[in-house]
Structure 1
C-alpha cells in the first residue's frame, strides 16, 4: 500500500513539473519578448518548412538544382539561429526549448503509470518431444557460432539443420523435418527466413520458436525476446509458454513484419544497390518520387483509397505512430489487423506539410483486415520482411488472426511500454490532485487503453 502511495505521489509531482515547465516556457517568452515571441515561433517554423521543402528538391532533382537545394536545407536553420542571435534572444529560445523538453519528459513519466504491461503471460506448455531448429550460420554476422546456438540446442535434445549454399529452401527443409516427426519448428536467422518457416508451422499447426540470430530481429523485438543474447530464446524448449499471434499474407506469401511497396522496394531491388547504397539511392529516387520510374500505385483499404503514393508499408499489426523512441515497434501481434502507412508527396509544399505528422494530408495511417495494392503495370516489386519479390497486380494483403503458435521463454524481457500521448487535461488533473484523487475537470478524461500481445 505504501509503495502504491509513493508511486502515486511521484506521478503527481511529475505531472506538476510538466505543467509548471510548460507554463514557464510560455510565460518566459511572453514576459521577455512580448509580441515578438509570436515572431520567434513563426521564424523557427518557417525555417523548418524551408528545410523540408529543400530536402524534397534535393531528392527529386539532380545536378546543380540538387546542390542548391542541399545548401538551402542547411542554410535555412542557420539563418534562423542568426536571426535569434541578432535579436539577442537566442538564450530565450534555448531556455524555452529546454523547458518544453522538460515538460514533455515529466509528462511522459507521469502518464506512464496509466500504461499497461507489454508482455502477455502465455499458456504453459510441456517441452516438445522432437524440436527441429533451422540455423543460418551467416546471419547477424555469425551469431549462431558466436553464441554457440547449435551446441546449446543439441544439448537440449533438439535437431539442428544448418542453412547455407546447397542446403535447400528453408520452407522445404521445414516440411522435411515435419515428415521426420518434428513437433516444433524454430529458426535462428533473419526475419525473411523466420517468415518462411513460420508459414510452414502455421500450415501444419505446430508451435514455432524464434531465435533472434539475424541483424535486426524485428519479430523477436515485438515478441519481447532478448535480442542481445539469442541463446536465451532456447529456454522456450524447456520452460516455455505459448502465444497465439497473427500472420500477414501478401500475394500468397507469409510475412511476420511487413511488406513494402514503392520507392524503397524499387531502389533496393536495383542490381547496383548492394555495392553502392547511397549512390544508387540518390540516382534512382528522383525518378521514383516523381513517378517517372516505377509503377504508379493505387492503394485501397476499406473505404479509403490513395492514388499515387510514393511509399506504402503494410504491416502485420500496426506500428507505433508518434513515438520516435518506439519507431519500428508494434504494441501487439494479436490484433487481427494490418497496419497501413502510405506517403504521397507531389511538391515541396506537401513535403513541408509532412512536418504536421499524422495531420498531414499526404500521410495516411490506418488499420484494416485487408489492403489491396494495384498499379498501372502487371507486376510490382515488393519487399517482404527484407526479401525482394516481384508480384502480379493487384496485390492482396490480408491478416490471418491467431494463425501462428509461438513458443517463447517464460522469463523474457518483454516489450517496452509505449510512450503515452501527452494528454494535458489528464496532466492538469493529476497535478492538482488532492489526497490522491484528481479534482473534477467538468469533462470526462480519456484513460489509456490497455494492451496485450507479444
Structure 2
C-alpha cells in the first residue's frame, strides 16, 4: 500500500470514527427523546455505580453484609436490563453501544496506521553455544518438560540438562555450571526460576535461554516466544539471535517480570493460600483493604511519593496503559525504566472513581529508574515473579539496562503492539487530513 492510499485509509477510518460516535450520541435522543435519554443515562450510570459499590462492599465486609452486597451486585444489572426492556428502549441502548464500539475500532485503526511502527528490539548475530547448560523443572506448567520431551530434545542439540528434584539451589547449580565452562544458561520452568538463573547469566555476561515450560510464561510472552510450543525455544541453540534486555533488581535479587507489595503479597504469604485460594482471599481481604492488618506502605517512585497504597506493582519495564492493574504485557524490555502502579481504595467513592481511571489517589502509574517501598516494620512480604519472599525495608527496586543477553530463535511469533489510546484531537487532524499535510513540513524541519 503506497503512502497516498494509506493516508486516505487513515482519513476515512478517522471520519468513520466520528460518524459512529455521533450515531452513538444521537441514537438515544432521536429514538427516546431528551427526557428518555436523561433517563437512560441516569439508569445506566446508576446501575454501574451501584454494582461497583456493592462489589467493593462484598470485598471489604464480613458476614451477612458481605452476601447482601453480592446479591445487590448481581441484581443491579438485571434491574437495569428489565427497566430498559419495560421502557422499550433496550434496542436503543444496544444500538448506541454497538455504534460506540465501532467508533473505537475505527479510531484505533486510524491511529495505529497513522503511528510510525514501533522500533523492533535490536537483534545481534550469535554463534551457536559450545557448552549450553539447561535447568528444567519437571513439575512446572503441569509437566510440560515431559509432555514436550524437552530434556531429550535439548540433549540431542548438545545441551547438558539437569532435572530439578526436590528443593534445589538453582543459583548455586548455575554458578557451578559456569565454573565448569558453560557458555549459555537456560531454564525450562516458571518465571521465578527464570529470574534467578538470569541473574547468574547477567553476572557472567553469558547468553540466557528461555524455554516457556511454566504456567503463565509472562517473560516468554514479552520476548515474543511461542508459549504454546516450549520445544520451539530450543531452536535458538542451532539458529538463534541475541537480544539485550533489562533486568530488575529488588534488594539485589533479580526479577524479570514484576514485584508486588501490599494486599496480594500478604495473601500469598498465608499458609492457607495454596490449599484454598478463594476462601483465603475472601477471609483476609476485608481487613487488608481496611488497613486493620498488614503493613502500611509508602512508595517513592522517582520524585513521586504515594502514602498508604494498598497495592504496589513494580515491573521490569512498564506494562501497557490499557490495563488497570498493569498486568497485560510489555511492548519492550529494553526501555531502561521500571513501571510502577499503585492502587489506593479507602472507601466506596475511591472504588467508583476507578471506573473513570482516576489518576489521583486511587490509581497512580509512573515510570522511574528507582522505586523504594518503605514500611513501619523491619520486613515486609513481597511477591517476586510469583514467589513469596520476606524482604528487609526499605525495599529498593532498580533497573539494570541491557544487563541480560537473551538468546531467542530467529523464527518466532514476536510481540504485538498495544492498541493506541483514542486521541480525538489527533483523529480530527487525520479526518481533515491536516496531519498528513503537515508531516512533510515537520520532516523538513527535522532534517
Q: Confirm or deny a common fold (TM above 0.5).
A: yes
Counterpart position of 1:451:
none
Query: CA shift at 1:433, angstroms?
Result: 3.8
Counterpart position of 1:310:
310
Counterpart position of 1:333:
333
Q: Within 2, Cα distance between the matches of 1:31 and 1:440?
A: 38
Structure 2 SS opposite 1:359: coil
Structure 1 SS opposite 2:357: helix
Specify every segment of 5 or more residues in structure 2 that has no aligned partner in the other structure, as ranges.
Answer: 443-447
Q: Within 1, Cα distance between the matches of 2:325 and 2:18?
A: 22
CA shift in 2, pair 1:87/1:115, >3 Å: farther
Structure 2 SS opposite 1:264: helix
Counterpart position of 2:394:
394
The 5 Å alignment of 1:126-275 reads 126-165=127-166, 168-275=168-275
Q: Residues 62-88 of structure 1: CA distance to partner in whole angstroms, max 9, x if unpaired? A: 111101111111222222223323332
Counterpart position of 2:279:
279
Q: Within 2, Cα distance between the matches of 1:326 and 1:413?
A: 23
TM-score when normalising by structure 2: 0.93
Q: Within 1, Cα distance between the matches of 2:321 and 2:270?
A: 30
Q: Residues 97-117 of structure 1: CA distance to partner in whole angstroms, max 9, x if unpaired? A: 011011111222222222524
Larger mean Cα displacement after TM superposition, 376-385 or 22-31: 22-31
Query: CA shift at 1:440, angstroms?
Result: 6.8
Q: Residues 258-299 of structure 1: CA distance to partner in whole angstroms, max 9, x if unpaired? A: 000111111111111111111111001011111111111111
Q: Within 1, Cα distance between the matches of 2:66 and 2:368?
A: 38
Alignment size in residue pairs: 438
User: What root-mean-square deviation, in Å, do the aligned CA atoms of Structure 1 and Structure 2 show?
Assistant: 2.1
Instruction: State whether residues 121 and 332 of structure 2, in contact with CA within 8 Å, keep that contact through their aligned partners in structure 1.
Output: no
Q: Residues 168-216 of structure 1: CA distance to partner in whole angstroms, max 9, x if unpaired? A: 2111110011011001101111100000000000111111011111000
Instruction: State whether residues 118 and 417 of structure 1, in contact with CA within 8 Å, keep that contact through their aligned partners in structure 2.
Output: no
CA shift in 2, pair 1:43/1:361, >3 Å: farther
Instruction: State whether residues 118 and 414 of structure 1, in contact with CA within 8 Å, keep that contact through their aligned partners in structure 2.
Output: no
Query: CA shift at 1:51, angstroms?
Result: 1.2
Q: Within 1, Cα distance between the matches of 2:242 and 2:91?
A: 55
Larger mean Cα displacement after TM superposition, 18-27 or 180-189: 18-27
Structure 2 SS opposite 1:55: helix
Counterpart position of 1:416:
416
Query: CA shift at 1:30, angstroms?
Result: 2.2
Q: Within 2, Cα distance between the matches of 1:323 and 1:351?
A: 16
CA shift in 2, pair 1:323/1:112, >3 Å: farther
Instruction: State whether residues 429 and 439 of structure 1, in contact with CA within 8 Å, keep that contact through their aligned partners in structure 2.
Output: no
Counterpart position of 1:450:
none
Query: CA shift at 1:346, angstroms?
Result: 0.8
Q: Within 1, Cα distance between the matches of 2:20 and 2:438?
A: 23
CA shift in 2, pair 1:70/1:360, >3 Å: farther
Q: Within 2, Cα distance between the matches of 1:393 and 1:426?
A: 45
Q: Within 2, Cα distance between the matches of 1:43 and 1:398?
A: 47
Counterpart position of 2:29:
30
CA shift in 2, pair 1:294/1:323, >3 Å: closer
Counterpart position of 2:445:
none
CA shift in 2, pair 1:165/1:303, >3 Å: same
Structure 1 SS opposite 2:15: helix
Q: Within 2, Cα distance between the matches of 1:137 and 1:413?
A: 25
Q: Within 2, Cα distance between the matches of 1:118 and 1:39?
A: 48
Q: Residues 342-387 of structure 1: CA distance to partner in whole angstroms, max 9, x if unpaired? A: 1011111111111111435310110111111111211110100001
TM-score when normalising by structure 1: 0.92
2:19 is the counterpart of 1:13 = no
Query: CA shift at 1:58, angstroms?
Result: 0.8
CA shift in 2, pair 1:115/1:152, >3 Å: farther
CA shift in 2, pair 1:323/1:371, >3 Å: closer
Q: Within 2, Cα distance between the matches of 1:117 and 1:353?
A: 32
